[in-house]
Structure 1
Amino acid sequence: MGAVLWLAACSAVVVESDTYRYACGILALTGLYFYLRMTDRPSISWVGWLCMGWAAYAFAIFLVMFAFWPGHPIGESEFLYCFPLFFPVLGFALSIYWKSMERIIAAFHIGALLMLLLTTRFREVASGETVRPLIQNNQIHGAVCCGILFVTSCFWLLHYVTEKRSDRTMATISFLVAPPVMALSLFCIYGAKSKGVWLALGLTLPLLAILVLRRLKMGKGTLVFAVALAGLLLGTYAVRANLDQFAGPTVQAAETMLWSAGHDGGAAADVAATIASSSTPISMDERLQLWWNASELIASSPILGWGNEWLNQWHHAKYGSIKYDLMHNGYLEILVRYGGVGALVFLFMLAVFIRSVQMACRDGIIPPCAFYAYLTVLVFFALTLLSNSNNRLAIGESLALVSSAFACACHLFIEQRRRAVANGDATESRDIAQSIA
């Protein structure tokens, strides 16, 4: 049952729905129940207190503003920033099912392959049309999800290629499933015509290549890299006209804006001129308006932000009449609400999570490819946030919950091992599932 719930928690990658919320809610309650049942339960670490402290702060701001300024509109995703409250208990819940992770990962990728095969519109993509990958609300969401699938399947396969003692059945499954998932994901990313995802993936690929080469032996790794790079370059060359058709106008408008920066009235005047220009593509034009509004709000409250009062202030900005309030930049979403203080807390929290997973890799708690996948997925997703508010989407919420739970579980095992060593126990830390039983 727990394995099914964790698969449901990851389901937003293939189907954009609220299933992951219900699954994570049940898992959080399950984790809390078993934690309270333990007679020798692990203490809440400073990482757990950090997560819960931030959640309490964010919720307190919401309550204060709601109490003193009743009646003002509330944004759709304000409680997203209280999600860190659940990270520690979800981490504990994940530790209970730790030994099932290999099968959960395999089932996840098998399901992803089936979904890609069933939903990919091969003929439309081949003809250069824009498609919506998987079952997502729009093509940008689908492209982000395909990027995540590409990264995870790559390192899932790499794990079994490089681990000699791996399970043969799981290795066979990965050899059969991972390559088509990677190929179909790239195919769908091209078909989605999301310029932001193209850029994010292009910037992520060098990191992915470095980590793959680091894991493989130099001779084999160089050959694999050369073949993959050649295939990617040939594919890009074959569809260059279609790429230029969709990305060309945006690139030209961006180049014009950047080249004229500071020449006539400063950068602000150049951005305003780009917004006013009829040659600016509509998607770029709207994003620049949204980013202008966000920059006004940040400048007026740079330290602590506006909390849930930001939506009232939004309509007084220069382009307040724009029909969207989704800022299409995840970092601006945080800065507007919580200012520089909030951004620093989230950055510190992210660094702590990555460090916990890296230390778990160093101590042999997780395999190296698990850490590489974790890091690369976060880098890719962070880059997608530059052009879209993906942290406010189902995939963003799901990724935040699952990736943070994974980091908290890693930290829990690290702390257990440290206590065991301090107590003179030469064996590895106890199995949490056995402790609960």
Structure 2
Amino acid sequence: MISKTPEGASRAPLHRTRMAELVVLLCTLVLVSTVWVETDLYRYVLIPLVAVGLTTYFLRQDFFPMIGPIGWACLLWPVHVALRYLWVEHIQPDSTGGSAEGVYMFTGAYLTVGYIFFLYRNRLQRLLLPFFVISLVTLLATVQLSGMLDNENTRVEFLFHNNLIHASIGAGFILIAAFCHLLWLLDRRPRELPLYWQQLFLLLAVSLFALLGIVVAASKGVWIALLAALPLACFAVWTETRGTTRLLLTVAGIVAILTMALVFGARIEHLIGNEMASAWALIVELFSGGPVREVVLNKIESGALPSTFDERMRIWWNAMSIWRLDWLFGQGIYWENLWEQTRFADIGFELMHNSYLEIAIRFGIVGLIFYAILFGWCLYQMRRATIEGLVERKLYLFLMLSFVFFLVTMTSNSNIRLAIGESYMLVVGGFGFFAYYLRQWSATQPSR
């Protein structure tokens, strides 16, 4: 028998209902599912997330956070993108409409994703265990160890992505997340947490298989990105741990690096040796004092570059040729028409294989500055919230490590217009606004 609600009793707000909480947590898990599978589902789950966020924001009476100048910039940027699209279509009737232009309008969702993170800040931790369990299951199901020790140019697929580079980036995010959560776990005592040892084993297994998958996939850009993040990870071990834990992690890290070098050194050298030598030779020539464009063009047309390096050099030459037509504002969606007029238009790709150039050819220096300020602000807000004791330090560490990793992978891949890159930017942008709202909320609370 169901008792009646007493007259005058208020119902729980929408975002506090069990159904809304379940929907939000599931949608948030799908939002980050691009590390496992490359689909557009992360876009569709934005609809219920934004719906719950906006409804709560405008109906809630006790707290109404400001979005600030960066928030307004995030809302106006999609308007700018849309107006440029319409303007180019108007003045260039032959425009082909560009490619994946809509992804640059997602900044408008960062504010609401951040508000959802703020509303459910005490519940999001429940997603960690499912995230790592799913990560381990997908890695175990797809990582193929056969051929790992071969010195041939063997690249083995894993996870559920359209190509190995995307899968390696996803595994890189999983590896960094497992590392940061491992540091958090080691900061606790076994009796403080249920399933402590099971979680420890889970995180170690996830880290191992994510790393093995990255080695087998042989994505050189991801290898370099992980190396770039390694100094920060080492610094974190020394600052976030102490005593025996610090010693064990340091020894384990050294042993792991030496083991990787001994077991996979020959394979890694075989796969990247020629490209590293070619890149170094190009750098030396560039600093020799000759005209940059002439040096690069001669290198490309010499036919001496390794195939993948040569492809990227040709693509980047085309992209720079388009960008230099308007350094400040770029070409908008008309870049695709101009691509056919570039020197190496027959390369067979229209992805720049460089996220910075993806932005530059469309929006020029203005676009690069906009994204730099936006994500710099997001990291700043997270840092301030961490210093003020509002955010767990390991969460901020994850954002810093993953962001360094992401920035480096962007130099050799068009992450910004891929599912995994778009969803990651939604998460980082969301956490930036989450921290901004949280700091405002904290300022309204009585001093303790």
Q: Same fold (TM over 0.5)?
A: yes
Gaps of 5+ in 2: 1-22
Moved more, 293-302 or 182-191: 293-302
In 2, Cα distance between equivalents of 1:214 and 1:371:
14
Q: Which amino acid aligns with 1:31?
A: G
Alpha-carbon shift at residue 392 of structure 1 (Å): 1.1
State the secondary structure of the residue aligned to 1:169: coil
For residues 22-421 of structure 1, what are the structure 2 equivalents within 5 Å?
Answer: 22-46=44-68, 47-127=70-150, 129-163=154-188, 168-169=193-194, 171-217=196-242, 220-261=245-286, 263=288, 265-420=290-445
Alpha-carbon shift at residue 387 of structure 1 (Å): 0.8
Moved more, 283-292 or 66-75: 66-75
Q: Which amino acid aligns with 1:110?
A: V
State the secondary structure of the residue aligned to 1:122: coil
1:21 paired to 2:43: yes
Residues 99 and 333 of structure 2 are in contact (CA less than 8 Å); yes or no, is this contact kept in structure 1? no
State the secondary structure of the residue aligned to 1:186: helix
CA RMSD in angstroms comes to: 2.0
Alpha-carbon shift at residue 55 of structure 1 (Å): 2.3
* Alignment partner, residue 6 of structure 2: none
Q: Which amino acid aligns with 1:337?
A: R
Alpha-carbon shift at residue 365 of structure 1 (Å): 1.7
* Alignment partner, residue 433 of structure 1: none
Residues 65 and 440 of structure 2 are in contact (CA less than 8 Å); yes or no, is this contact kept in structure 1? no
In 1, Cα distance between equivalents of 2:375 and 2:159:
28
Residues 156 and 174 of structure 1 are in contact (CA less than 8 Å); yes or no, is this contact kept in structure 2? no
Alpha-carbon shift at residue 69 of structure 1 (Å): 2.6
In 2, Cα distance between equivalents of 1:419 and 1:170:
37
Residues 238-266 of structure 1: CA distance to partner in whole angstroms, max 9, x if unpaired?
A: 22221122112212222232233355853
Moved more, 348-357 or 69-78: 69-78
Residues 61-92 of structure 1: CA distance to partner in whole angstroms, max 9, x if unpaired?
A: 12222233334112332111111101101111
**Count of residue pairs the alignment pairs up:** 423
In 2, Cα distance between equivalents of 1:215 and 1:138:
36
Alpha-carbon shift at residue 222 of structure 1 (Å): 4.1
In 2, Cα distance between equivalents of 1:88 and 1:223:
41
State the secondary structure of the residue aligned to 2:330: coil
* Alignment partner, residue 19 of structure 2: none
* Alignment partner, residue 11 of structure 2: none
Moved more, 376-385 or 295-304: 295-304
In 2, Cα distance between equivalents of 1:187 and 1:111:
17
Alpha-carbon shift at residue 212 of structure 1 (Å): 1.9
In 2, Cα distance between equivalents of 1:126 and 1:335:
40
Residues 40-66 of structure 1: CA distance to partner in whole angstroms, max 9, x if unpaired?
A: 441432132121122222222122222
Moved more, 239-248 or 200-209: 239-248
Please give the TM-score of this superposition, normalised by the length of structure 1. 0.92
Residues 98 and 334 of structure 2 are in contact (CA less than 8 Å); yes or no, is this contact kept in structure 1? no
In 2, Cα distance between equivalents of 1:239 and 1:341:
43
In 1, Cα distance between equivalents of 2:113 and 2:343:
42
In 2, Cα distance between equivalents of 1:179 and 1:34:
39
In 2, Cα distance between equivalents of 1:362 and 1:156:
19
Residues 213 and 222 of structure 1 are in contact (CA less than 8 Å); yes or no, is this contact kept in structure 2? no
Moved more, 240-249 or 217-226: 217-226
Q: Which amino acid aligns with 1:144?
A: I
Alpha-carbon shift at residue 105 of structure 1 (Å): 1.8
Residues 380-407 of structure 1: CA distance to partner in whole angstroms, max 9, x if unpaired?
A: 0110001111111110011011221122
In 1, Cα distance between equivalents of 2:420 and 2:319:
23
Residues 110 and 430 of structure 2 are in contact (CA less than 8 Å); yes or no, is this contact kept in structure 1? yes
Q: Which amino acid aligns with 1:69?
A: Q
Residues 182-225 of structure 1: CA distance to partner in whole angstroms, max 9, x if unpaired?
A: 11111111101111111111111111111121101166424412
Relative to 1, partners in 2 of residues 1:108 and 1:122: Cα closer, same or farther, differing over 3 Å? Answer: same
State the secondary structure of the residue aligned to 1:366: coil
Identity of aligned residues (%): 26
Residues 149 and 264 of structure 2 are in contact (CA less than 8 Å); yes or no, is this contact kept in structure 1? no
Relative to 1, partners in 2 of residues 1:207 and 1:166: Cα closer, same or farther, differing over 3 Å? Answer: farther
Residues 160 and 166 of structure 1 are in contact (CA less than 8 Å); yes or no, is this contact kept in structure 2? no
Gaps of 5+ in 1: 428-437
* Alignment partner, residue 431 of structure 1: none
